[in-house]
Structure 1
Amino acid sequence: MSATSVGGDQYTLTEEQRDFRDVIRQLVSQRIAPRAAEIDATGEFPHDIAKLLAEQDLLGLPFDERHGGTGTGALMLCVAIEEIAKACASSSLILAVHDLGTLPIRLAGSAAMQDRVLPRYASGEWLAAFALSEPDAGSDAGGMRTNAVRRGDTWVLNGTKNWITNAGVAAAYIVFAVTDRSVSYSRGITAFLVEADRPGFAVAKLEHKMGMRGSPTGQLTFDDVELTDDDVIGTPGEGFKIAMRTLDHSRLGIAAQALGIAQGATDYAAAYARERTAFGKPINELQGIQFKLADMETRCAAGRELLYAAAARADRHAPDLGKYSAMAKLFCSDAAMDVTVEAVQVLGGYGYVTEYPVERMMRDAKLTQIYEGTNEIQRLVIGRSLR
């Protein structure tokens, strides 16, 4: 079910992919959209939605068929995240983080590790998490303090990680730690798979957030957590490279989420403008509103073209994926923020109250400009590719 490519850079969805998208749309309309406001209001992780995504094989989207996944590639994964995010960004993050939190294993894990754990992720038995950021090390990985020291046949892990999505609900965490301070961080960091039941591991706190409230974000602590070589992803010292390769791919999921938020807000505002009357006619006949909606729809369409082109590059293992994924994340997240602000404006006072979804969409959109690499970092990635 891969994308059809023409001329190297062009793409389209196959008929099978379009059919799959329609199935997802129906699922979102019937099962996820009705839960979106409640998920945001309670701030609780929607275990029922995670179970639903597993039952419908959507949690299998990131994985190859040999590990129990759908084997449908990055483009189909982005389509699914986009469709879910149109209704509920928190629910779409379940799938996006499932991709992020397993990519290091898929990219660099041993065959034994992949065979051992990926089927558990693909079935939905395990939820994933990715632990790179720290209290003093966000965009700057060189400030990492979490460390793992070799003691005999084991590694002993100590430290703290911040801003970790799925904290408290993930079955295992991909954790990056300094293992050699005598070399640069690009060669002295190692990636580990840390299962949640390991002694010494704890979720120290959960954050209270402006948006994405149904997705838990928290601080993790590691106090003499013992690991073995079987828990090392790739080889010692390769962790930074693995993290950067992971983010080159996983940014696509956040771009898809941002695009879904933007399109959902545009669709809602357009529908509202057809029904709301002012000065004796529907407000979508007023040029001021028409121009807003036109710009909103154009931003969504442009973002989709860039995202799908980047996802097709991921499916073809194109060497310029990093630049294109950064551009897609940058453009789609900025579009999501701009579009949702305008959606609130189209609804006026109604847009500012929780009875209508666009204020939630605006709050959710902001995070897409921050996580998986801030948009300032995306501009650095793009700029460096042009040197």
Structure 2
Amino acid sequence: MISFALDDEERMIEEIARNLGKLLRDGMRKWEKDGVSSEIIKKYQETGFALIDLPEELGGVNAGFFKKVLALESMAWGCAGTTLFLELPSFNSHILVFADENAKSKYRDKMNKVGIYFDFDNNFSEENGKYTGSAKAVLGRDIALFFLVKDGKVLVFRNFEIQRKKPLALDAVGVNELKLSDSEPEDIFELKDKGRYFLSVARLYLSAIDTGILRASFEYSSAYAMEREAFGKKIAHHQGMAFLLSDFSIATSACQLYLWKAAWSLDTKQENFFQVCADAFSFISENAEKFTVWGVQILGGHGFVKDHPVEKWMREAKTISLLFGGKHISEIHSSEE
């Protein structure tokens, strides 16, 4: 019989992450405006979540991706942007797993200053070893090194123009546009697997964060529907709203199960892990985009004002669906497997 019960260690991780998520929720508007406080950074570091999924050679404990997504989902329930900010060094470090030993030793301690971009659309052109182009969505607040991934190779740049995107979503972590103009990489190293592992990890992280956003939106909007009355009864008890809330609940549970399957595929090194992670990201990001809009609509006009967090979750879900090639590149990769 298949069991979905968590073991003692997994329950402990989930409980710690939920408590941290509550703190992130309390200050999410502040982190979005002013950046993450040193107090929150310290509390996060005390949890040890950054090390859960990293291999030992990169300073981690190699405890698995399933435990990681438990933490990510509960933290993102509190604030997705802050979760990405706190997890970004760990997230970035996975780019080194299939790099050579020289690259690992050279960049292992610098991953908190790295911005990573996969050039799926050939936005960067090369002439005589120099590159020109722009990357539209690179995560990070203090980027000193730009890792441009093209054809399975990582081109490392130190000289680039950076422009912070206008605040739309994920402002706590920072979303930037990076430009190169006849820039020569200071270093180049190859990814032995052409970047498939890192892309899968990236999609898993983003799927976990999206699932946390989706759960937060469902819980908040359904609670509102159970309190608000119209035509003599709670709006949740009107048939049309009841159907909507039922679909919302089903989507939230389905996304969590797909997330767990993707984490399992990486932990157990399944042959089709690349396809499973791509499919999971496509499915979860599409549902997160759709149902966080519903979360706003359930609140009516109140959903669009910052007195309620549903508008923030809607913005974040849309932004996440565009990162690292977005769900459309994920669908292409899945179809090619």
Q: Shorter-chain TM-score category?
A: 0.7 to 0.9
Structure 2 partner of 1:313:
265
Please tell me whether residue 214 in structure 1 is matched to residue 172 in structure 2.
yes
Structure 2 partner of 1:68:
59
Structure 2 partner of 1:281:
233
Structure 1 partner of 2:30:
38
Q: For the Cα contact (< 8 Å) 1:108–1:242, is it kept in 2? A: no
- Specify which of 327, 344, 363 is matched with residue 279 of structure 2: 327
Q: Give structure 2 stretches of 5+ with no counterpart.
A: none
Distance 1:325 1:39, change over 3 A: same
Please tell me whether residue 25 in structure 1 is matched to residue 5 in structure 2.
no
- Specify which of 135, 150, 154 is matched with residue 191 of structure 1: 154
Please tell me whether residue 374 in structure 1 is matched to residue 330 in structure 2.
no
* Shift in Å, 1:214: 2.3
- Equivalent-residue separation in structure 2 for 1:159 and 1:318 (angstroms): 38
The one-letter code of the counterpart of 1:351 is G
Residues paired across the two proteins, number: 335
Residue pairs, 1:231-380, within 5 angstroms: 231-234=187-190, 238=191, 241-380=193-332
Q: For the Cα contact (< 8 Å) 2:136–2:176, is it kept in 1? A: yes
Distance 1:371 1:166, change over 3 A: closer
Q: Percent identity?
A: 23
**Post-superposition CA distance 1:285-320 (Å, at most 9, x none):** 322222211111100111111111111010111110
Distance 1:21 1:193, change over 3 A: farther
Q: For the Cα contact (< 8 Å) 2:124–2:131, is it kept in 1? A: no
Q: For the Cα contact (< 8 Å) 1:129–1:165, is it kept in 2? A: yes
Please, what TM-score do these two structures have when normalized by structure 2?
0.87
- Equivalent-residue separation in structure 1 for 2:163 and 2:278 (angstroms): 31
Structure 1 partner of 2:121:
140
- Equivalent-residue separation in structure 2 for 1:47 and 1:192 (angstroms): 32
- Equivalent-residue separation in structure 2 for 1:171 and 1:33 (angstroms): 29
- Equivalent-residue separation in structure 2 for 1:47 and 1:114 (angstroms): 30
The one-letter code of the counterpart of 1:102 is S
* Shift in Å, 1:109: 3.4
Distance 1:66 1:371, change over 3 A: closer
* Shift in Å, 1:213: 2.5
Structure 2 partner of 1:131:
117
Q: For the Cα contact (< 8 Å) 1:57–1:70, is it kept in 2? A: no
* Shift in Å, 1:25: 0.3
* Shift in Å, 1:66: 4.9
* Shift in Å, 1:36: 0.9
* Shift in Å, 1:148: 8.3
**Post-superposition CA distance 1:107-154 (Å, at most 9, x none):** 2231x5435543665xxxx35431334xxxxx324x5325784xxxxx
Structure 2 partner of 1:77:
68
SS at match of 2:153: strand
SS at match of 1:324: helix
Please tell me whether residue 118 in structure 1 is matched to residue 111 in structure 2.
no
Distance 1:252 1:368, change over 3 A: same
The one-letter code of the counterpart of 1:379 is E
- Equivalent-residue separation in structure 2 for 1:51 and 1:170 (angstroms): 21
Structure 2 partner of 1:163:
136
**Post-superposition CA distance 1:163-193 (Å, at most 9, x none):** 343344145443336xxxxxxxx4xx63145
Q: For the Cα contact (< 8 Å) 2:153–2:188, is it kept in 1? A: yes
- Equivalent-residue separation in structure 1 for 2:247 and 2:170 (angstroms): 25
- Specify which of 89, 93, 97 is matched with residue 98 of structure 1: 89
Distance 1:159 1:367, change over 3 A: same
Distance 1:91 1:379, change over 3 A: same
- Equivalent-residue separation in structure 1 for 2:270 and 2:308 (angstroms): 42
- Equivalent-residue separation in structure 2 for 1:166 and 1:273 (angstroms): 35
* Shift in Å, 1:103: 1.7
Out of 216-225 and 258-267, give the one that drifted further. 216-225
Distance 1:79 1:164, change over 3 A: same
Q: For the Cα contact (< 8 Å) 1:75–1:315, is it kept in 2? A: yes
Specify which structure has the higher proportion of helix.
Answer: 2
Q: For the Cα contact (< 8 Å) 2:210–2:320, is it kept in 1? A: yes
- Equivalent-residue separation in structure 2 for 1:62 and 1:128 (angstroms): 19
Distance 1:224 1:351, change over 3 A: closer
* Shift in Å, 1:274: 2.4
Question: For the aligned residues, what is the CA RMSD?
Answer: 2.8
